[in-house]
Amino acid sequence: MAREFNVPPVVFPSNDGNPSVQSQRRSPNVAPSFQQPSPANAGASTDIPFMSFDIGSASASSSFSGPVFAGSIYAPGGASFFEEEPPLLEELGINTRQIWRKTKSILNPIRVNASLHEDADLSGPFLFLMAFGLFQLLAGKLHFGIILGWVTVVAFFLYVVFNMLAGRNGNLDLYRCVSLIGYCMLPIVIFSGLALVLPQRGVAIFAMEAAFVLWSTRTCTKLLLDLASCGDEHRGLLAYACFLIYTLFSLLVIF
């Protein structure tokens, strides 16, 4: 037989001291009545505290603080910092203005400014060699590997020949030699471009070949004599070596 236990009513204390609410909480059999609050009591305080936030009271900050990532602050002046950085090509050692000035000096076979070629570089020669290979590719000849290999061999050949003629006083290094040969390849590159629209078998193309080879030979010989010492007495031998080099490259265009 189940025993009955008398459970005392649960009383929830209230801070407002309203006896009607307490009586309703004490008597569980009485249904609670909900009354619509009157307009007179609409502004009365309730049990839940309310904190007001005055947004307009906060002073607007005129300075902008950048976000913080891993302890570093990105200031808004970062754009000016990147503007002061040098261009990417200059960081890689490629000076486009210098290449353009050297190219213009080569295009003038009468006045060749040797002072522009005192600072040797391989960016311009590589560009000319790639253009030469591209013109050959348009003619149906894949000569990229041959061109790069021959430039390396003929640069070493000219370096050995010059230093043997100059003796111990020769100051031509291999890097400068490759740079000069590559820049003086510009007439041969122009000739390979013109050969695309000329007949491959004819007097005109052979006459044009001889003119462009002499152009490259004269320019390279003058630069070698102006930039390297102890070569004036061997002008003829140096010119003959340069003539053989550029004749070899011109044969790639004809045959």
Structural domain includes residue 29:
no
Phi, psi (degrees; rounded to nearest 5) at 34: -105, 125
Q: What is the pLDDT of residue 206?
A: 92
Would residue 137 count as lying in a domain?
yes
Contact 218, 109 (CB under 8 A): yes
Q: Which domain holds residue 246?
A: 120-254
Residue with tokens 């007495």: 233
Within 13 A of 223's CA, how many CA atoms are on the CB side? Answer: 30
Tens of pLDDT, residue by residue over 4-46, are 667 667 666 655 555 554 444 444 454 555 455 555 454 444 5
The pLDDT value recorded for residue 124 is 93
Residue 150 C-beta-side C-alpha neighbours within 13 Å: 19
Which tokens belong to 150? 């021959």
Confirm whether 41 is domain-assigned. no
Residues with Cβ within 8 Å of 28's Cβ and at least 6 positions away in sequence, in order, are: 9
Q: What is the pLDDT of residue 140?
A: 92
- At 30 the pLDDT is 47
Residues of the chain with pLDDT under 50: 21-28, 30, 34, 40, 42-45, 50, 53, 55, 57-66, 68-75
| Single-letter residue type at 177 | C
Our count of domains for the chain comes to: 1
pLDDT tens for each residue of 134-163 = 999 999 999 999 999 999 999 999 999 988
- List the structure tokens of 92: 């890689």
Task: With respect to residue 56, please indicate whether it lies within any of the assigned structural domains.
Answer: no
Both structure tokens of 33: 């009545």
Q: What is the pTM of this model?
A: 0.66
Pair 241, 158: CB distance under 8 Å: yes
CA distance linking residue 125 with residue 101, whole number of Å: 13
Q: Do the domain assignments include residue 166? A: yes
Q: Is 65 contained in some domain?
A: no
| Pairing verdict, β 72-73 and 68-69 | antiparallel
Is residue 114, in this structure, part of any structural domain at all?
Answer: no
In three-state secondary structure terms, 72 is strand
pLDDT at res. 199: 85
3-class DSSP assignment, residue 17:
coil
Residue 32 lies in a domain: no
Residue identified by tokens 């070596």 is 241
